[in-house]
Chains A and B, each alone.
Chain A
């Protein structure tokens, strides 16, 4: 069996978060009643003309600058001609030979922690098509043109990815980036962010690429991974069985977890691209690029580097905390209230308790029931040893469920830590007295029983004994020898 290398390139379609469509004034909001957001331009009435939405262009430039790409001073809209009921003009306006965003790159972190750069060939603006509706209509198809003319940024990668995992990491990175830039809401269920995957295999070390298959319209990270894995296995089996991969478009069926042929290269349309004479070439001036550049937020990689540098976080933690602008902002607000010296504690709590509560209740971080300031208030009680980390988790749960401040809960429930050494010693003495057998075993070398004594003491104090103090005192008492 040969050693195969997988080669993957992605074409990501990110729906731009403009209020109106790319060439008409209709709204782009999702979920409206069919055909209520389609004007004469979207319906391709005779005589109407497209006018480019300047906001869509600005967003494309923003993306280009964020991936270090060259912004074309002059780009062209072309017509991609084909007949389909959800394509009212009989052509899609897209960019073909001269896209607005040229070559750029982004980096991803692999499982082993290594950083890999993935090239972005280009990104271009285009309009989305409408939707055909087949359900609930006897013997007919319905057309909903609300989506027709919605602005898309198609982001085309180089064939730089070598596994399904890398493809997912790349897609997630782009997903993070477009949300950071506030140019796409990233909502995959609504189709705002989706991709086509070009997949081929070749013997490891080969210089040329194998024949690729294009898997269309993958709209979850999981499907991207599964579809590529399936497709790679299919191609290996095919070639090893003496067959050949044919260039074709395939669809992923999530229910069956398989890809199926949709159309071959021979059946592909001849799109007869040519420059759209209704739209002038888009001329972008350096001053415009300068303005857009100045509007760029701190990018995910920059933020992660700063977190690592300023707060002494690991690369992994810094990456998790900068995965979304909201997460980063939350973390920084906690640190601001708590003090930078305790950033690591803040990081652990944001990634730990807070994230699991958000996931469990399916809440966005911006709507978290514990504010960054409230969380900082809780963590301050750990820092000043009022409560232990373990107790803090219970307090957090109370804060999450009834929205009270940490101090009020600690006060109400009497959770304040016992830090009076004589009080702790008293409890230790009675525990030791009550467990002579264990004491003897411990002293004869069974060190593991130390935990038993800690547990017994905390059981007696309701977990309130200061752990560090308890450890120290208990160690001394156990070592003290028979009285």
Chain B
């Protein structure tokens, strides 16, 4: 079936004119119509626009143009601004917000001929690890619809896993691509901070946010990342480093690759999860990689550090939602203060408010040094730990998540337990490093991920290692029942 084909296979069929982009687009739109109600993964379907893009792609193909993404449908996380299309960020605050411009990520993909089918559900303002904080309701995991798909890119993950699109975009501030990828059996890549432009991507925590992809294989991810990545003069934090030809580098031999096993990641890890990771490492060793144990002594401090830095930045980033120029405005405000208080009070959900309050607190006079400044120092120590580790090894490996997908409702009332979901993923964000999650097996019928993390701009190495692993295994090819 078309929806199980990889990006490479689809590109070949489009080039050979065995299928048109319009047919492909109709096929996926039909799947969305049929399967999305059970998942709530897609919150805006842009069928008309998709068919127009598809027709344009077909014309380009007919004119002899070839491109690996040309004519292939995707779904964007609803955090990326899309011109003329509602961009809600999963919040009531932006439920009425029609973005007047395209994010750079959207522009780059569109220029390559990608066909946007719609916008994916997400945790409100990307704050959450289960997709339960969305104003549009929770997303269900296609592997078990009583379970969460992870978050915050939960809609993107469920959509890609359920084959509602060939791939989807996501953003990762503390694990928001890798964790849902792991919980839905996908390959998720969070690039180096600055690798992909943040322009037009609605900010949660600016120093941590990074756009990436949720695909069904490392090879697919390589194709998409190649297009998404690159310097953007509109984003001062984007880095002007040439983008390697990721797909061409996938076959780089693994021999001699040194993989560090993070001692801190395996301490207390649930045994079945640990066994899967060990099994995956055996596969990598058999492919020629070497493994050795490394330690990141400050890594256990990453969750508290993150929950100071990210809320601090979000408290300021979200100040612009004041009911004045766009977004939600309360009914009949009686004065300015009332307008602010009620627009924000009614427009934001509980988790967003919790983080704004936490962030406001840690930045306030008298607490700044003890929290924000201290967290920045710890962040530096964590970064230094990684740097020291990468003097010994090429990549580090470990689990992506502590557990497989959990039940909807199980953790939503306990923020601290929820926050601990990101214990293995946050380090890479604090240090600005690229990370990747690849499917590595199942526990109780639910997928789990192996996480690889490398030095800045080592995406090619991560993708290549995952690609070699995926050629030796078939975890990534399994589709959830009912979505094959």
Contacts and interface: CB of A to CB of B under 8 A. Distances in A.
Given A47-B203, A51-B233, A89 B319 contact: yes
Interface string B340-378: 100000000000000000001001110010001000000
Nearest to B324: A85
Interface in A20-60: 40, 43-52
A51 B363 contact: no
Nearest to A269: B365
Residue of B80, B87, B203, B319 contacting most chain A CB atoms (<10 Å): B319
B202 A272 contact: no
Given A85-B324, A85-B336, A91-B319, A50 B236 contact: yes
B471 interface: no
Given A43-B325, A280-B237, A90 B365 contact: no
A66 B24 CA distance: 65
B363 A46 contact: no
Interface string B305-328: 000000011011001101011110
Contacts of A46: 81, 87, 89, 94, 97, 99, 202-203, 320, 326-327
B100 A45 contact: yes
Interface string B203-236: 1011100000000000000000000000001111
Contacts of B206: 277-278
Nearest to A91: B316
B312 A49 contact: no
Nearest to B313: A277
Nearest to A51: B236
B101 interface: yes
Contact of B207 (A81, A88, A270, A277): A277
Contacts of B94: 46
A442 interface: no
A385 to B, nearest CB: 68
A143 interface: yes
Nearest to B125: A46
A199 to B, nearest CB: 25
A79 interface: yes
A83 B324 CA distance: 11
Interface in A61-107: 79, 81, 83, 85, 88-91
B195 interface: no
B199 interface: yes
Contacts of B313: 277
A46 B236 CA distance: 16
Nearest to A274: B363
A48 B199 contact: yes
B336 A272 contact: no
B325 A49 contact: no
A45 B94 CA distance: 11
A279 interface: yes
B200 A47 contact: yes
B393 interface: no
Interface residues of B, number: 43
A85 B99 CA distance: 21
A51 B336 contact: no
B198 interface: yes
A279 B81 contact: no
B296 interface: no
Contact of B235 (A49, A83, A85, A272): A49
Given A47-B103, A270-B364, A278 B237 contact: yes
A270 B200 contact: no
Contacts of B205: 277
Contacts of A143: 324
Nearest to A80: B316
Given A40-B101, A46-B94, A51-B234, A272 B203 contact: no
Contacts of A279: 236-237
B316 A79 contact: yes
A243 to B, nearest CB: 28
Contact of A90 (B199, B201, B236, B316): B316
Contacts of B200: 47-48
Interface string B19-52: 0000000000000000000000000000000000
Contacts of A88: 320, 324-325
Contacts of A277: 205-207, 237, 313
B100 A40 contact: yes
Contacts of B316: 79, 81, 90-91, 272, 274
B314 to A, nearest CB: 11
A480 to B, nearest CB: 90
Given A88-B325, A90-B320, A47 B233 contact: no
B205 to A, nearest CB: 8
Interface string B166-208: 0000000000000000000000000000000011111101110
A83 B319 contact: yes
A468 B368 CA distance: 80
Given A46-B94, A46-B97, A47-B202, A270 B365 contact: yes
Interface in B72-99: 80-81, 87, 89, 94, 97, 99
Contacts of B325: 43-45, 88
Contacts of B322: 83, 85, 90
Interface in A206-248: none
A50 B203 CA distance: 12
Contact of B319 (A45, A51, A90): A90
Nearest to A46: B202
A49 B324 contact: no
B35 to A, nearest CB: 29
Nearest to A23: B236
Contact of B81 (A44, A47, A52, A272): A47
A79 B364 CA distance: 13
Given A47-B203, A272-B364, A274-B312, A52 B236 contact: yes
Contacts of A51: 233-236
A27 B199 CA distance: 21
B242 to A, nearest CB: 19
A91 B202 CA distance: 16
Interface string B223-258: 000000000011111000000000000000000000
Nearest to B320: A44
Nearest to A90: B319
B303 to A, nearest CB: 20
A49 B202 contact: no
Nearest to A38: B325
A151 to B, nearest CB: 16
Residue of B200, B320, B327 contacting most chain A CB atoms (<10 Å): B320
A348 B235 CA distance: 57
A83 B312 CA distance: 16
A275 to B, nearest CB: 9
Residue of A40, A272, A273 contacting most chain B CB atoms (<10 Å): A272
B236 A280 contact: yes
Residue of A52, A81, A90, A270 contacting most chain B CB atoms (<10 Å): A90
B26 to A, nearest CB: 30
A365 B476 CA distance: 78
Given A81-B363, A272-B360, 16 more contacts: A45-B101, A46-B320, A47-B81, A49-B199, A49-B235, A49-B237, A50-B236, A51-B236, A90-B316, A90-B319, A270-B364, A272-B363, A273-B363, A274-B316, A278-B203, A278-B236
10 contacts: A44-B325, A46-B203, A47-B200, A47-B202, A89-B319, A270-B364, A272-B364, A272-B365, A274-B372, A278-B203
* Top 8 A-B residue pairs of the complex, sorted by shortest distance between their CB atoms: A90-B319, A277-B207, A277-B206, A272-B363, A44-B320, A47-B200, A46-B202, A47-B81
Interface of A: 40, 43-52, 79, 81, 83, 85, 88-91, 143, 270, 272-274, 277-280
Interface of B: 80-81, 87, 89, 94, 97, 99-101, 103, 198-203, 205-207, 233-237, 312-313, 315-316, 319-320, 322, 324-327, 336, 340, 360, 363-365, 368, 372
